[in-house]
Amino acid sequence: MQQDHTSPPAGMMPGQQAQPLLEQLAEWGPMTTIVIHGGSVFEFSGPFPKGSQAEGFYNLHSDGNGFHGHLNLQKVEHIRFQTKPHRGRESYAFVFEDANNEVIFKVFLGRDEQGELLTSQRDRFYQLMQQY
């Protein structure tokens, strides 16, 4: 099913920006990727892997170690900018959602050794958010 390329609501990136965003995130350094499915939460902390398009999927490369997989980016309708505290600390994430506003996965900004958000990532997040 092809996604509808109408404009997303304000404050969201259109789904067709998913691959360019993921390509950028692969250069940002450590982050946390979360997938919630069937009542379970899967988390990966580390750099978001680089990927490439093949056979209809965006394939994440990790040389067989760490986080890897195959993303069907056609299912991403929009990417929401999440800006809400988590356990009393500032927290920011890119939330990849389908046409029913269901979360496919989230990519949270990384933290330093003291648990503070990485300033360079927060600055880039705000720059992207201001564009939408």
What Rg value do the Cα atoms of the chain yield, rounded?
Answer: 14
Report pLDDT digits (tens) over 103-123: 999 999 999 999 999 999 999
How many Å apart are CA 74 and CA 100, to the nearest integer?
Answer: 13
pLDDT above 50 for 126: yes
**pTM of the prediction?**
0.88
Residue 65 near residue 50, CB atoms below 8 Å: no
Element containing residue 109 per DSSP (H, E) = strand 103-109
Quick check: is 3 in a domain?
no
- The percentage of the chain sitting over the pLDDT mark of 90, rounded to a whole number, equals 77
pLDDT above 80 for 10: no
Count: domains in the chain? 1
Residue 14 near residue 78, CB atoms below 8 Å: yes
- CATH code of 105's domain: 3.40.1570.10
pLDDT of residue 3: 44
43 - beta bridge partners?
A: 34
Quick check: is 59 in a domain?
no
Pairing of strands 51-54, 103-109: unpaired
